[in-house]
Amino acid sequence: MKTLTLPLKREYFEAIRDGTKTEEYRLCTQYWQKRLYSPFGSYDQVVLTLGYPARHDHDRRLVRAWRGYTIKTITHPHFGPSPVQVFAIDVSEPTP
């Protein structure tokens, strides 16, 4: 099973856990382009972690089905005041 692991800050982790945030954003850079485009981008699941937890710390991990991504232009305080292009990774669906 191929897994994309995304470490998150507490506010974003909790928002995804609570269902108020359905997308996780990563800047459109060559680094993320390589990770998300085929053949590397064919994932089975996304694991969202609160920081970098120990392997056995399951309370700080959320597992979501891989539902792909879209490319969007957003303005977000995390990325600064100007609009930026991001990969919007769908994290809305828990793994069945």
Reported as a single tens digit per residue, the pLDDT across 39-95 is 666 899 999 999 999 989 999 999 999 999 999 999 999 899 999 999 999 999 887
Rounded to whole angstroms, how far apart are CA atoms 23 and 48?
A: 11
At 6 the pLDDT is 97
Asked if residue 94 has a cis previous peptide bond (ω within 30° of 0), the answer is: no
Which residue do the tokens 């969007």 mark? 72
- pLDDT tens per residue, range 56-67: 999 999 999 999
pTM reported for the whole predicted model: 0.89
Q: What is the pLDDT of residue 79?
A: 92
Quick one: tokens of 58?
């399951």
Q: Are 46 and 63 in contact (CB under 8 A)?
A: yes
Whole-number pLDDT of residue 51 = 95
User: Using CB atoms within 10 A of its CB, is residue 8 exposed (0-12), middle (13-18) or buried (19+)?
Assistant: buried
SS3 (DSSP) at 13: helix
